[in-house]
């Protein structure tokens, strides 16, 4: 992001590293949307019940779904400001921003947090349990809200710290432990709610598979103007809280000694150690913070009040956890960028819903676009490298060692790039697979 | 027949933003040893890459025996009889010596089977003829660095190369091995082979070469006959200003003991034995103690154990009267130890951080640079600018230059600035001049001596014999993780040091 990062170089803002990250993210998004449009065309031509007009409608909805206002009396699509859509977009963006932050912050410390799903589930469990318990106990609703939120965050932090501890002391790859803790969390949460009938929604018919929504006990995030801005939508103050947390993360990572330590550990663990930074402590803390962030996403989602949690989740991990990865990748792990990429991802989701309601397409087109962008966001690092090289050539980098035989850094970084891309593609595949199972 | 076997005339090679070779002429006579001298970045490697066909020059021509030739790739170079021993050997560790030598030039029978017997005979004959002792059936991973170099030389001879390029060949050798190599090179020249010898070590040039071509910052400075010149003149040509070769340093006045190490033992990560075994020594205020030895004899692990980067399994370390054997890295640093690390990219710098961020790598937690955990960016900037000015650290964008974009010499200067400015009673300097050029080395040596004269204790680890002899007040030689001797640099000779370094000689145990 072009911002006033105190450590940015003297390049013009549109050539800064942040700007390049934005360009490469935009390239991924554009290609993803274009592929989506192509799929809309192919599906439209293959299905007899979709006319040429229908195809054109589909394409418009893919790009502008969030501004769709339905159909006019003549049956044509209409577009304009749609408070419900935009409000719902922001509402759905909230957990994505938080899990995106959970991935981004860990990544800055050199850790790949693929455990956001498990951390998210732990947050769900903590928030719902404490929220329902305190909500029924007659404790002031404000305090109940705070306790529910903090319990979720704390459980997430603990859950996140487990892979951190394994990484720090036994050097076990956090990706493996994260995958394991994800499924442990899924089973743990299922067991917990299975054992506690008080939390199950037995009052409403056919809802016993769900946990009682928090609005029933009045433990709900205040709307904080969201109901005025986007009347009729699910939007609430949780989105503002997510933005505040993102800004806080940005400040923590760039302005504080703690962030300095975390980033040093991520960029060069050996040098951090040499400087006397406790790398083990920082790895654990980083994962704990990541876990807290993912869990906060779950807390804010369920504290909105009317969301319902299907508790028998032992075979299924929440998609929000994995979608945090493309959110973070698209934002190049910048905490402020995560706000935008999170909103964008949720916008695609809204487009999918509009497609489903207004055309003969189903909402899975949106999932395909997301999947393509996930793939491409892995390549956004490649775009970034190519773009940065271009820009460097333009400005004539006189400092770089001119004699290639003496300079081993380019192949080194290329290796890094290749391995990072390979890793990211692998993750993208996992995500795509997970998406397909649901 | 031309006077020159190879001529590179008016070569010009540009890279974006820089001219690496600007009108350079190099003429190699048949049967001579021709040294190519220049600092890092002077354009030596680029020039050799042009000769080897790795780069195409923008201007200029290459002649072989007076005929203009076009070298488009290394195969063309090989066909013209040009061979090169690279600074970093290009050998396959798990292959035998023989397999490595014939690799790429295998002779095969009708069905594509290797004719190893003939190859073996040819290699043995060459090895005999030139005194290049190798064990043809040993795997490369099991032989010494010196023998690996002989394998590289045999590779060139096996291909019947007439023009042999040696790129910094002595960097990895002991003094005895260097002498052997020099003799071998002279033998080649007598045979009529022509040798290009790339180096920055003046002693070796004086000892072995016939003529010297000097490059500086991509430009041709001149070619001189070795017998008509001297070290001082050569180094002035190389650096472009008068360089002080001999360190001007007063005798040490050792004070109280600053660092006392007793029975330090550090396990090895590679093999089962200890990398550092029961090592004891003291460093006093106002003296430079040097740990000399061939690379890989436990120096790295000794320093890791001392600075806390790795855990020692036994022994005590006392710094300024305080037992720091169990202390954390930061506690050790705060107890009075600054450390110029061996590997500036691994330990010394966070390459993706800016120069100013690197300048406060240990200091960011001091109240001066932070307020309740928030970094005071103004203070950091001011401090970095002061260090940059005081220690003449050059970079494209000053304090906000990303460390990765700086030249190696300036990266090292930045680390040295940071460590010396901490003004700790003990300075641990590990290969502080590695990969630097004469001008920078002179500067850093003077700074280390100044540090000593301020009354600080200096523990120096160096692989460069000249540095060991010139800089230190006392020398301890380490061999296979043990201190095998203590010598006085004023009384010892490089040869004696070499004997200790290769394990051929050792003083009785319990050396202090």
- Per-residue pLDDT tens digits for B123-169: 999 999 888 888 899 998 888 778 888 999 999 999 889 999 998 88
> Which residues on A lie below 8 Å from B356 (Cβ)?
7
Q: What total number of domains does chain A contain?
A: 1
CA dist., res. A150 & res. A296, Å (int):
8
Domains belonging to chain B, first-starting first, are: 4-239 (3.40.50.300), 244-336+424-512 (3.40.50.300), 351-422 (no CATH)
Asked if pLDDT for residue B283 goes beyond 60, the answer is yes
Please report the pLDDT score of residue B16 as a whole number: 73
CA dist., res. B104 & res. B125, Å (int):
20
Half-sphere exposure of B448 (CA within 13 A, CB side): 32
Cβ burial, residue B88 (10 Å; 0-12/13-18/19+): exposed
State the DSSP code for B354.
Answer: B
Please report the number of interchain residue pairs, chain A to chain B, with beta-carbon separation below 8 angstroms.
120
Please report the pLDDT score of residue B131 as a whole number: 84
> Which residues on A lie below 8 Å from B46 (Cβ)?
402-403, 405
Report CB contact under 8 Å: A402, B41: yes
When pLDDT is averaged across residues B293-307 and rounded to a whole number, the result is: 90
CA–CA distances in Å: residue A97 to residues A103, A116, A221, A352, B225: 10, 12, 17, 19, 71
Residue A334 domain-assigned?
Answer: yes
Weakly modelled stretches of chain A, pLDDT under 70: 1-15, 17, 377-378, 380-381, 389-438
Which pLDDT band, with edges at 50, 70 and 90, does B75 fall under?
confident
Structure token pair of residue B457: 């204790």
Report CB contact under 8 Å: A257, B373: yes
Q: Which of A10, A267, A402 sits opposite B352 (nearest CB)?
A: A267
Cβ count within 10 A of residue B363: 16
Q: Using one digit for the tens of pLDDT, what is the confidence trace for B213-233?
A: 999 888 999 999 999 999 889
- For residues B7 and A414, which has the higher predicted lDDT (pLDDT)? B7
Report CB contact under 8 Å: A8, B15: no
Please report the pLDDT score of residue A425 as a whole number: 53
> Which residues on A lie below 8 Å from B349 (Cβ)?
268, 271
CA dist., res. B68 & res. A192, Å (int):
84
Q: Using one digit for the tens of pLDDT, what is the confidence trace for B331-347?
A: 999 999 999 998 888 99
Asked if B311 reaches chain A (Cβ–Cβ under 8 Å), the answer is no
Asked if residues A366 and A348 have their Cβ atoms less than 8 Å apart, the reply is yes
Asked if B377 reaches chain A (Cβ–Cβ under 8 Å), the answer is yes
The answer for B 5-34 residues in CB contact with A (under 8 A) is 15-18, 20
Report CB contact under 8 Å: A397, B352: no
Size (chain B), residues: 512
The answer for B 48-67 residues in CB contact with A (under 8 A) is 48-49
Please report the pLDDT score of residue A410 as a whole number: 32
Q: Least CA distance to B308: which residue of chain A?
A: A274
Which pLDDT band, with edges at 50, 70 and 90, does B467 fall under?
confident
Report CB contact under 8 Å: B350, A399: no
Residue A172 domain-assigned?
Answer: yes
* Beta-sheet strand order (sheet of B257-267): B274-284, B257-267, B314-319, B322-323
When pLDDT is averaged across residues B312-340 and rounded to a whole number, the result is: 93
Contacts with A248 (C-beta within 8 Å, 6 or more apart), sequence order: none
**For position A301, which CATH number holds?**
1.10.3470
Secondary structure (3-state) at A231: coil
DSSP string of B280-298, one letter each residue: EEEEETT-EEEEE--TTSS
CA dist., res. A269 & res. A271, Å (int):
6
CA dist., res. A410 & res. B347, Å (int):
19
Query: Does the reported pTM lie above 0.90?
Result: no
Asked if residues B457 and B287 have their Cβ atoms less than 8 Å apart, the reply is yes
CA distance B154 to chain A (A): 23
Residue A141 domain-assigned?
Answer: yes
Asked if residues B438 and B39 have their Cβ atoms less than 8 Å apart, the reply is yes
Please report the pLDDT score of residue A70 as a whole number: 85
- Write down the residue that tokens 């809280």 correspond to: A241
Secondary structure (3-state) at A51: coil
CA dist., res. A106 & res. B427, Å (int):
35
- Helices and strands, number each (H, E), in chain A: 15, 2
CA dist., res. B332 & res. B307, Å (int):
7
Average pLDDT, chain B: 89
pLDDT above 90: percentage of residues in chain B: 53
Report CB contact under 8 Å: B18, A257: no
Which pLDDT band, with edges at 50, 70 and 90, does B296 fall under?
confident
Report CB contact under 8 Å: A396, B16: yes
Secondary structure (3-state) at A353: helix
Report CB contact under 8 Å: A257, B374: yes
Q: Using one digit for the tens of pLDDT, what is the confidence trace for B183-200?
A: 999 999 998 999 999 987
Domain of residue A187, residue span: 84-341
Residue A117 domain-assigned?
Answer: yes
Please report the pLDDT score of residue A430 as a whole number: 55
Please report the pLDDT score of residue B386 as a whole number: 94
Asked if residues B171 and B87 have their Cβ atoms less than 8 Å apart, the reply is yes
CA dist., res. B204 & res. B37, Å (int):
11
Q: Which of A7, A273, A396 sits opposite B354 (nearest CB)?
A: A7
Residue A111 domain-assigned?
Answer: yes
Asked if residues B181 and B173 have their Cβ atoms less than 8 Å apart, the reply is yes
Report CB contact under 8 Å: A400, B405: yes
pLDDT above 70: percentage of residues in chain B: 98
Asked if pLDDT for residue B384 goes beyond 90, the answer is yes
Report CB contact under 8 Å: A271, B348: yes
Please report the pLDDT score of residue A2 as a whole number: 39
Residue A408 domain-assigned?
Answer: no
| Parallel, antiparallel or unpaired: strands B337-340 and B426-430 | parallel
CA dist., res. A384 & res. A386, Å (int):
5
Residue A66 domain-assigned?
Answer: no
Cβ burial, residue A92 (10 Å; 0-12/13-18/19+): buried
DSSP string of A4-33, one letter each residue: --TT--SS-GGGSHHHHHHHHHHHHHHHHH
CA dist., res. B498 & res. B512, Å (int):
20
CA dist., res. B177 & res. B278, Å (int):
29
Q: Which of A184-193, B37-46, B442-451 has the lowest mean pLDDT?
A: B37-46
ipTM confidence:
0.78
- For residues B382 and A414, which has the higher predicted lDDT (pLDDT)? B382
Report CB contact under 8 Å: A255, B341: no
Please report the pLDDT score of residue A166 as a whole number: 96
- Chain A residues within 8 Å of chain B (Cβ atoms): 6-10, 255-258, 260, 263-264, 267-268, 270-278, 393, 396-406, 409
Residue A381 domain-assigned?
Answer: no
């Amino acid at each position: 992001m072009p911002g006033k990062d105190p450590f940015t170089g003297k390049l013009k803002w549109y050539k800064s590293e942040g700007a390049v990250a934005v360009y490469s993210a935009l390239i991924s998004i554009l290609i993803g949307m274009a592929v989506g449009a192509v799929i809309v065309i192919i599906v439209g031509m293959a299905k007899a019940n979709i006319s040429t007009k229908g195809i054109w409608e589909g394409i418009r909805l893919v790009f502008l779904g969030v501004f769709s206002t339905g159909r006019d009396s003549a049956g044509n699509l209409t577009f304009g400001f749609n408070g419900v859509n935009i409000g719902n977009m922001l509402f759905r963006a909230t957990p994505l921003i938080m899990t995106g932050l959970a991935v981004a912050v860990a990544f800055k410390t050199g850790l790949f947090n693929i455990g956001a799903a498990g951390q998210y589930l732990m947050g769900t469990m903590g928030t719902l349990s404490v929220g329902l318990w305190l909500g029924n106990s007659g404790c002031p609703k404000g305090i109940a809200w705070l306790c529910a939120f903090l319990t979720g965050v704390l459980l997430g932090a603990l859950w996140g710290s487990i892979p951190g501890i394994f990484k720090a002391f036994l050097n076990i790859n956090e990706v493996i432990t994260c995958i394991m803790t994800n499924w442990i969390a899924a089973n743990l949460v299922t067991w917990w709610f299975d054992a506690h009938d008080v939390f199950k929604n037995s009052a409403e018919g056919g809802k016993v598979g769900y946990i009682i929504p928090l609005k029933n006990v009045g433990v709900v995030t205040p709307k904080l103007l969201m109901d005025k801005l986007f009347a009729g939508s699910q939007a609430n103050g949780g989105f503002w809280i997510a933005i505040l947390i993102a800004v806080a993360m940005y400040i923590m990572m760039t302005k504080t000694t703690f962030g300095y330590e975390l980033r040093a550990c991520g960029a060069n663990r050996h040098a951090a150690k040499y400087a006397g930074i406790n790398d083990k402590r920082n790895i654990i803390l980083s994962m704990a913070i990541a876990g807290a962030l993912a869990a906060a996403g779950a807390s804010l989602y369920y504290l909105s009040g009317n969301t319902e949690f299907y508790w028998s989740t032992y075979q299924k991990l929440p998609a929000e956890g994995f979608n945090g990865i493309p959110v973070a990748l698209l934002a190049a792990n910048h905490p402020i960028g995560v706000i935008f990429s999170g909103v964008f991802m949720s916008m695609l989701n809204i487009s999918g819903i509009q497609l489903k309601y207004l055309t003969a397409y189903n909402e899975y087109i949106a999932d395909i676009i997301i999947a393509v962008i996930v793939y491409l966001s892995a390549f956004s690092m490649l775009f970034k490298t190519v773009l940065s090289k271009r820009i460097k050539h333009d400005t004539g980098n006189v400092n770089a060692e001119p004699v290639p035989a003496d300079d081993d850094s380019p192949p080194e970084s290329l290796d890094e790039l290749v391995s990072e891309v390979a890793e990211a593609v692998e993750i993208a595949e996992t995500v795509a697979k997970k998406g397909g199972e649901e | 027949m031309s006077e020159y076997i190879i001529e590179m005339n008016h070569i010009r090679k540009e890279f974006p933003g820089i001219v690496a070779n600007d009108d350079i002429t190099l003429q190699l006579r048949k049967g001579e040893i021709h040294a190519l001298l220049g600092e890092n970045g002077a354009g030596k490697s680029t020039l050799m890459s042009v000769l080897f066909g790795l780069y195409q020059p923008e201007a200029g021509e290459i002649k072989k025996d007076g005929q203009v030739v076009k070298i488009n790739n290394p195969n063309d170079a090989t066909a013209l009889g040009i061979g090169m021993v690279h600074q970093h050997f290009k050998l396959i560790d798990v292959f035998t010596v023989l397999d490595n030598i014939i690799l790429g030039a295998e002779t095969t029978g009708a069905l594509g089977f290797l004719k190893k017997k003939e190859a073996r005979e040819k290699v043995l004959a060459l090895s005999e003829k030139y005194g290049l002792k190798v064990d043809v059936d040993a795997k490369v991973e099991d032989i010494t660095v010196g023998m690996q170099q002989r394998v590289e030389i045999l590779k060139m001879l096996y291909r019947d190369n007439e023009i042999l390029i040696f790129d910094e060949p002595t960097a990895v050798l002991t003094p005895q091995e260097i002498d052997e190599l020099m003799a071998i090179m002279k033998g080649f020249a007598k045979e009529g082979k022509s040798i290009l010898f790339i180096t920055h070590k003046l002693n070796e040039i004086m000892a072995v070469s016939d003529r010297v071509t000097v490059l500086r910052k991509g430009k041709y400075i001149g070619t001189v006959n070795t017998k008509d010149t001297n070290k001082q003149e050569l180094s002035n040509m190389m650096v472009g200003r008068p360089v002080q070769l001999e360190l001007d340093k007063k005798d040490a006045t050792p004070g109280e003991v600053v660092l006392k190490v007793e029975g330090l033992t550090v396990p090895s990560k590679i093999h089962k034995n200890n990398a550092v075994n029961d090592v004891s020594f003291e460093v006093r205020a106002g003296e430079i103690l040097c740990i000399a030895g061939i690379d890989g004899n436990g120096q790295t692990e000794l320093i890791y154990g001392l600075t806390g980067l790795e855990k020692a399994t036994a022994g005590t370390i006392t710094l300024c009267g305080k037992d720091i054997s169990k202390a954390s890295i930061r506690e050790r640093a705060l107890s009075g130890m600054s450390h110029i690390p061996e590997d500036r990219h691994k330990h010394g710098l966070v390459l993706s951080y800016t120069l100013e961020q690197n300048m406060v790598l240990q200091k960011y937690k001091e109240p001066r640079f932070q307020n309740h955990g928030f970094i005071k960016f103004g203070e950091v900037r001011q401090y970095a600018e002061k260090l940059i000015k005081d220690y003449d650290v050059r970079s494209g964008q000053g304090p906000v230059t990303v460390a990765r974009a700086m030249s190696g010499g300036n990266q090292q200067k930045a680390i040295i600035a940071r460590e010396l400015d901490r003004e700790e009673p003990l300075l641990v300097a590990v290969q502080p001049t590695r990969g630097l050029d004469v001008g920078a080395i002179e500067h850093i040596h003077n700074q280390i001596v100044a540090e000593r004269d301020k009354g600080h204790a200096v523990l120096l680890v160096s692989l460069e014999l000249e540095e060991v002899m010139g800089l230190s007040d006392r020398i301890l030689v380490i061999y296979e993780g043990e201190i095998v001797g203590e010598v006085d640099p004023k009384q010892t000779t490089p040869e004696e040091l070499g004997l200790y370094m290769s394990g051929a000689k050792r003083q009785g145990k319990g050396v202090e």
